[in-house]
Structure 1
Amino acid sequence: MNTMNQAISEIGVVPVIKLNNPERDAAPLAKALCAGGVPVAEVTFRAAGAPLAIKVMKETCPDMIVGAGTVTTAAQIDEAIEAGAQFIVTPGMDEDLVKYAQEKKIAIYPGCTTPSDYHTALKYGLEVLKFFPAEQSGGLAKIKAMSAPFPQFKVMPTGGVSLKNLKEYLSSPIIAACGGSYMVSATLIDNQKWDEITDLCKQSREIVKEARA
């Protein structure tokens, strides 16, 4: 795997974050994630302040890996890169966005859940695919079935992943990392429960170590 894919895989979990108040929350959230041993974040463009959140998180914790999620346009890729994003995540397989990201030399993880999606990803030399929404699309059983004809891919399931099933996913060698919002829920962020976020990150990292022991 390339350097970015390897770094994310080693952490094992990717918090999927929607920040409604990045001016207040981005900096303490970045510190909370890093304190919990999870120095990575996918900041979704479902909230208008995503570019600002990315910028603040990178400035607060320069060694943190920060990317942009729910990216649906080339303009958002440009915004993300300008803010300091290091990777792009799209909800589905959009060839135009994959090509654009590759032209811009930024890692991209498109959402893929069908053989057609995987086949398209093959054309672009991708190594890691987002599998979204994971649980609703068949979960680990489907991921394993899809891996039979496409063994070259590692997968990052997102959607329905929690502390309860994290170990099951990560125990499979097909899984590069798991995306999840359980450690960065709106309730935790809005109530500024930074210590709880750090604790959930620590629990997640322990599960990563157990699953890969």
Structure 2
Amino acid sequence: MQLTMDEVLQQARPVLPVLVIEDVGLAVDLARALYAGGVRVLEVTLRTPGALDALAAMRKELPELLIGAGTLIHAEQFAEARDAGAQFTVSPGCTERLAAAADDAGLPYLPGVMTPSEVLLALEYGYRSLKLFPANGASSIKMLKSFKGPFTGIRFCPTGGITPDNLLSFLRLPNVACVGGTWIAPSNLVRARAWDQITQLAAEARALASSLEQPL
């Protein structure tokens, strides 16, 4: 049974790693390093020529991971992501054409929003799990707090600007399901094949957030 986008974000909590993969040959080792650090959901961004090949390789070698395609900005990318094995899709914004393509592809979709009007547009298309992009530190925290009143039941995944320093400030918000982050697998560590360090960064993020999950 296919998961909803809300269920995908619940499984991703606290952090959905946002990956820019330049070398397809490193994709599987990167996925294994993240899995060793406790990651169960990740997003491969379609910002590099081999991104879909990297996603397909990860899906084949680590079926226990839930892997999505991100930075979808053209309608045709949704079918391409589906055919490569993506299990969900993510965009930095939301348009009528992208929403229709996501529906046609039959995959859970996380559209990006930044303003109340964009949230309303996404709601008109039936989406209640949204990506807040870019998440600019304290100002975005204030915005998410203000969204809580008028947008009851909407869950956000802030992305772009999340760091270990502000991670908890976002995760404490009741309308934040998880956060998206690139710092867990930065390009320099991937190029250096520093898998132990990437595993440690993933584990540290989970450990940092674990206090929020404990009952009072």
TM-score, shorter chain, exceeding 0.5: yes
**Normalised-by-shorter TM-score class:** over 0.9
Distance of 1:57 and 1:179 partners within structure 2: 19
- Percent identity over the alignment is 37
Q: Deviations over 1:90-121 (max 9, x none)?
A: 11111211122122210111110111111011
Q: For 1:49 and 1:112, locate their aligned partners in 2 and report how far apart those are by CA, in whole Å.
A: 27
Q: Is the 8 A contact 2:78 2:89 kept in 1?
A: yes
Q: Is the 8 Å Cα contact of residues 113 and 137 (structure 1) preserved in structure 2?
A: no
Deviation, structure 1 residue 38: 0.6
Q: Does structure 1 retain, via aligned residues, the 8 Å contact 2:11–2:41?
A: no
Q: Does the Cα contact within 8 Å between 1:136 and 1:159 map onto a contact in 2?
A: no
CA pair 63-4 structure 1, distance change in 2 beyond 3 A? farther
Structure 1 stretch displaced more, 2-11 or 51-60: 2-11
Q: TM-score when scaled to structure 2? A: 0.93
Gaps of 5+ in 2: none
Deviation string 1:150-201 (CA, Å, 9 cap, x unpaired) is 1121000001101111111111111011000001111111111111111111
Aligned length: 211
Give the letter aligned to residue 95 of structure 1. E
Does 2:202 match 1:201? yes
**Aligned twin of 1:132:** 133
Amino acid paired to 1:151: T
Report the equivalent of 1:143. 144
Letter in 1 for 2:18: V
Structure 2 counterpart of 1:65, which letter? L
Aligned to 2:192: 191
Question: What TM-score does the superposition give when structure 1 sets the normalisation length?
Answer: 0.94
Matched, 1:16 2:18: yes
> 2-side partners of 1:96 and 1:7: how far apart?
23
Gaps of 5+ in 1: none
Counterpart of 2:105 in structure 1 is: 104
RMSD, aligned CA? 1.5
Output the CA distance in 2 between the equivalents of 1:150 and 1:68: 26
* Separation in structure 2 between the aligned mates of residue 181 and residue 32 of structure 1, nearest angstrom: 14
Residue matched to 1:25? 26
